[in-house]
Chains A and B, each alone.
Chain A
Amino acid sequence: MTPPTNTVCNCFCILLTADIISTVEFNYSGDLLATGDKGGRVVIFQREQENKTRPHSRGEYNVYSTFQSHEPEFDYLKSLEIEEKINKIRWLPQQNAAHFLLSTNDKTIKLWKISERDKRAEGYNLKDEDGRLRDPFRITALRVPILKPMDLMVEASPRRIFANAHTYHINSISVNSDHETYLSADDLRINLWHLEITDRSFNIVDIKPANMEELTEVITAAEFHPHQCNVFVYSSSKGTIRLCDMRSSALCDRHSKFFEEPEDPSSRSFFSEIISSISDVKFSHSGRYMMTRDYLSVKVWDLNMESRPVETHQVHEYLRSKLCSLYENDCIFDKFECCWNGSDSAIMTGSYNNFFRMFDRNSRRDVTLEASRENSKPRASLKPRKVCTGGKRKKDEISVDSLDFNKKILHTAWHPLENIIAVAATNNLYIFQDKIN
């Protein structure tokens, strides 16, 4: 694959003005791209097949299905509003013609089946073509209905609803490699579900202290290992990651491995813990590494080494001198996600001002790109951006004080096989791909 820092990006931009996008996820083949938004809707895009008559449409994504996944609810007992915002979507591996995905809001996880219908039965005996019932006494002959082709219809139906298992807000779901179970994590607990069973789940991690006054950290993300179905990790607001093995005990409160980077105590400040809080954790496709995102950096960890990460990539180190104002406007609590490319040679994460960053792990090069209307004409290449940290600002550079902190790219996704990326900028979804020669 072409190194991402040399990526000449085609842009195929899709406008989603309806609501702020809250999650983006490719399926296992990369042919489908699902987005969830703040209004509880899921929109699935499908990649167009190669078409000889329209050579430029290779690989364009078009809307495949749209449905309302979650509705707002009100918990009267606890006086809590339950937002319909979709926190995460995870695809199941495809097993038949239909596609399945899990979508979750703060409290409830749903399994959706997305299926195509392109045939319709005609020639019923008891009803007309327009559905009106025929008078049975007038029927003199029997006929066998035949299947006729019809315009493709994509239907989404909820197959399972996994509810009432979380007191706190669900931040992660992860499908196991056994394709039968999945985990859901909230601030203090992680539950294990079977995809077929909705009335029961097993609690596998519980970090709630007996006395809530003693609460010092919360779970921020969790994920199953891509190949070992007994292993999962969860990250915390204190910047630590715990790897747990479900074979060792039923309740995985005690970790098998504990990953933490040692900190220089003299450099500790009020902000240290806040900016060390991990907002996302992702295993590499190989299963050998995992990546964590904290406020200012992305770190790659070797699962065999708990003492420190093997790589640290600075996302926007220039923000370190802005922490005071970022704390005041709450931006310091923004939860950025990160992702690997298919071969694990590159990683990507978002930043402010609609910037996103890609790091090539082999060449050690990185690039900053911008997802914005002005820069994203179809088939035009993206120009690398640069933030000026002080002193003289060169032409085309942008100074730290001019960054728009309301334009944050929290969610990005990388196609599992090709150099195609999806970047969510508030309520716009951008899809960039390598230019074909």
Chain B
Amino acid sequence: MHRLPLLMPAGKGSARRPSEMEDKVTSPEKAEEAKLKARYPHLGQKPGGSDFLRKRLQKGQKYFDSGDYNMAKAKMKNKQLPAATPDKAEVTGDHIPTPQDLPQRKPSLVTSKLAG
């Protein structure tokens, strides 16, 4: 039986015990969950599969056009290579990104948690 890591809407799920309200207050885990829900109200309501799992499987994804890269490499052979790597803020025009230029930072789970 598959249990998806989604929050169950109020009213569904296991029968309420009389002391459940008390549990919600005293259990540290539930208190943390309440905190999280308060900060990110849309968390966990996306249907179909888990965000975490998909993020995990997509680790390392960078967008890169090999055609552009190879064309630029060919063009570079006729030009002098720049002495220092250009500042990212100044990269415009016909500078084709190389694998080394692409940002190292992988998008944090928090931003994707907020999206959608």
* A322-B14 Cα distance, complex, nearest whole Å: 26
Once the chains bind, are B49 and A270 in contact (CB under 8 Å)? no
Residues of B within 8 A of A187 (CB): 56-57
- Contacting pair A106 B60 (CB below 8 A): yes
B64: chain A residues within 8 A (beta carbon): 74, 76, 79
How many residues of A sit at the interface, in one of the four size bands? 35 or more
Task: Confirm or deny: B71 has a beta carbon within 8 angstroms of a beta carbon on chain A.
Answer: no
Q: Does A324 contact B (CB under 8 A)?
A: yes
B80 within 8 A of A: no
| Given A79-B62, A266-B23; A321-B50 close (CB under 8 Å) | no
Interface string of A260-279 (1 = CB under 8 A from B): 00000111011111100000
Supposing A76-B66, A81-B99, A323-B29 touch, asked if A216 and B2 sit within 8 A by C-beta, the answer is yes
In the complex, A368 has a CB within 8 A of chain B: no
> With A266-B23, A273-B3, A320-B29 in contact, do A216 and B60 touch (Cβ < 8 Å)?
no
Task: Say whether A327 contacts B20, CB under 8 Å.
Answer: no
Contacts A80-B62, A81-B102, A214-B49; is A238 near B29 (CB within 8 Å)? no
A47 within 8 A of B: no
Q: How distant is the Cα of A376 from the Cα of B49 in the complex, in angstroms?
A: 46
Q: How large is the interface on B (under 10, 10 to 19, 20 to 34, 35 or more residues)?
A: 35 or more
Q: Is B77 interfacial (CB-CB < 8 Å)?
A: no
Known contacts A169-B59, A212-B49, A217-B53: does B99 contact A270 (CB below 8 Å)? no
Instruction: List chain B residues, Cβ under 8 A from A129.
Output: none
Question: B5–A74 contact, CB under 8 A?
Answer: no
Docked-complex contact A83 and B32, CB < 8 angstroms: no
**In the assembly, what is the distance between CA of A320 and CA of B28, in Å?**
6
How close is B103's CB to chain A, nearest CB, in angstroms?
11
Q: How far is the CB of B96 from chain A (nearest CB, A)?
A: 14
Asked if residues B56 and A218 are in contact (CB atoms below 8 Å), the reply is: yes
User: Which residue of chain B is the closest to A209 with respect to CB atoms?
Assistant: B49
Does B27 sit within 8 A of A, measured CB to CB?
Answer: yes
- Does B25 lie at the interface of the complex (its beta carbon under 8 Å from any beta carbon of A)? no
Q: Is the CB of B14 within 8 A of A273?
A: no
Pair A213/B33 contact, Cβ less than 8 Å: no
The 8 A CB mask of A56-96 against B (1 = contact, 0 = none) is: 00000000000000000010100111110000000000000
A132 to chain B, nearest CB (A): 37
Docked CA distance A217–B13 (Å):
21
Please measure, in the bound complex, the distance between the C-alpha atom of A108 and the C-alpha atom of B54, giving whole angstroms: 22
Chain B residues with CB under 8 A of A82:
60
Q: Does A328 contact B3, Cβ atoms closer than 8 Å? A: no
* B81 interface contact, C-beta 8 A: no
Closest to B98 in A: A74
**CB atoms of A328 and B63 under 8 A apart:** no
- In this assembly, does B12 line the interface, its C-beta being within 8 Å of a C-beta of chain A? no
At the interface, yes or no: A330 with Cβ under 8 Å from chain B? Answer: yes
Complex-state Cα separation, A323 to B37, whole angstroms: 12
Chain A residues with CB below 8 A from B2, complex form: 214, 216
- Inter-chain CA distance A216–B2, complex, in Å, is 7
Let me know if B61 is at the binding interface, CB within 8 A: yes
User: Is there an interface contact between B61 and A330, defined as CB atoms closer than 8 Å?
Assistant: no
Task: Identify which of A188, A218, A238, A270 gathers the most chain B CB atoms within 10 Å of its CB.
Answer: A270
Q: What are 22 pairs between A and B in contact, CB < 8 Å?
A: A76-B64, A81-B102, A106-B59, A169-B59, A187-B56, A213-B48, A213-B49, A215-B49, A215-B57, A218-B57, A238-B3, A267-B27, A267-B30, A269-B32, A270-B33, A271-B33, A273-B3, A273-B5, A274-B52, A324-B33, A327-B36, A330-B108
Q: Could you list which residues of chain A lie within 8 angstroms of chain B, going by C-beta atoms?
A: 74, 76, 79-83, 106, 168-169, 187-188, 212-218, 237-238, 265-267, 269-274, 320-324, 327-328, 330, 333
The chain B residues found within 8 Å of chain A, CB to CB, are 2-5, 7, 13-14, 17, 20, 23, 27-33, 35-37, 39, 43-44, 48-50, 52-54, 56-57, 59-64, 66, 99, 102, 108-110
Q: Lowest 3 CB-CB distances: which A-B pairs, in order?
A: A321-B28, A323-B32, A324-B32
